């Protein structure tokens, strides 16, 4: 049986897809985001788990997931780095009638994406910026490769696009215009969720002995976040229900 490297589990997730959800955080990520609040998930570590072990855990809380329209979400780290395990787990979950979702940054091979997608009901896609410059400054990936994978996924599955608003990096007029262009160019309508940048992960970077390069970047004011969202609405972009 395929086993997956994982970091942690959450039985009552409320921000990882519709309803109350069981969230499995896998271990391993290559994106290297400068603002990551879970840098301790980047390494694979030693913890292993099987699909059946996860689903046995899920059944203990099944009534809450079913009654709320929830299900199971595979997050990370980056779940698409372990496509065999994720496909096995979500295939079994769907066979048991569970709603399934993955939370991905899109940094994966097309083969991995196509292996997992048949077993996914919704994709939460974390877009780390809207310009090539923002990706170069904030990640170890290139925007064009990420957008290619976003288009591949959006042509096949419902997508919630998650965008972190970071002062000085992803919040300017150029970023707003580029984001609108990205969303409009997708093969079908997606919902967009604007997430304010926060500094809660700095303590983890300190624990790891790593230099947090955004140390002097402030969290955006509520008014700035609201204005950004309003600009998206005026451009005809569909925001997630939590944004309205």
pLDDT of residue 217: 97
CATH class of the structural domain 3-243 = alpha beta
Spatial contact of 165 and 197, defined as CB atoms under 8 Å apart: yes
Q: Assess whether pLDDT exceeds 60 at residue 244.
A: no
List the chain domain ranges. Answer: 3-243
Q: Assess whether pLDDT exceeds 90 at residue 141.
A: yes
pTM flag (> 0.85): yes
With the CA atoms of 67, 6, 81 and 240 taken in that order, what torsion angle do they form, in degrees rounded to the nearest 10? Answer: 30
Question: Per-residue confidence at 5, pLDDT binned at 50, 70, 90?
Answer: very high
Distance CA 153, CA 60 (A): 31
**CA-wise closest residue to 39 among 217, 194, 164, 212:** 212
Sheet holding 71-75, edge to edge: 48-50, 3-13, 21-26, 71-75, 99-104, 122-127, 159-165, 191-196
CA 78 to chain CA mean position, Å: 8
List Cβ<8 Å contacts ≥24 apart for 48-53.
Answer: 48/3, 48/4, 48/5, 48/6, 49/3, 49/4, 49/6, 49/24, 50/1, 50/2, 50/3, 50/4, 51/1, 51/2, 51/4, 51/85, 51/88, 51/89, 51/92, 52/1, 52/92
Query: Pairing state of beta strands 159-165 and 99-104?
Result: unpaired
Question: Per-residue confidence at 241, pLDDT binned at 50, 70, 90?
Answer: confident
Q: pLDDT tens digits for 177-198? A: 999 999 999 999 999 999 999 9
- Burial class from Cβ neighbours inside 10 Å (0-12, 13-18, 19+) for residue 76 reads buried
């Amino acid at each position: 049986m395929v086993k997956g490297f994982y970091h942690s589990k959450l039985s009552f997730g409320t921000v990882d897809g519709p309803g109350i959800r069981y969230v499995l955080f896998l271990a391993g990520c290559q994106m290297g985001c400068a603002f990551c609040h879970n840098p301790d998930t980047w390494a694979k570590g030693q913890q292993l788990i099987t699909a059946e072990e996860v689903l046995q855990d899920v059944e203990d809380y099944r009534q809450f997931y079913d009654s709320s329209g929830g299900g199971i979400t595979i997050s990370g780290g980056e779940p698409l780095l372990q496509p065999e395990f994720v496909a096995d787990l979500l295939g079994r979950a769907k066979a048991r009638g569970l709603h399934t979702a993955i939370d991905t940054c899109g940094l994966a091979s097309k083969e991995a994406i196509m292996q997992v997608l048949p077993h996914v009901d919704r994709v939460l896609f974390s877009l780390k910026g809207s310009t090539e410059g923002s990706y170069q400054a904030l990640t170890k990936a290139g925007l064009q490769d990420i957008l290619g994978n976003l288009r591949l996924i959006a042509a096949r599955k419902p997508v919630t696009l998650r965008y972190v608003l970071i002062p000085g990096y992803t919040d300017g007029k150029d970023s707003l215009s580029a984001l609108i262009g990205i969303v409009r160019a997708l093969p079908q309508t997606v919902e967009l969720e604007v997430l304010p940048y926060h500094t809660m992960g700095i303590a983890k970077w300190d624990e790891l002995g790593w230099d947090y390069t955004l140390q002097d970047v402030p969290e955006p004011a509520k008014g700035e976040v609201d204005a950004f969202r309003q600009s998206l609405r005026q451009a005809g972009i569909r925001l997630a229900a939590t944004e309205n």
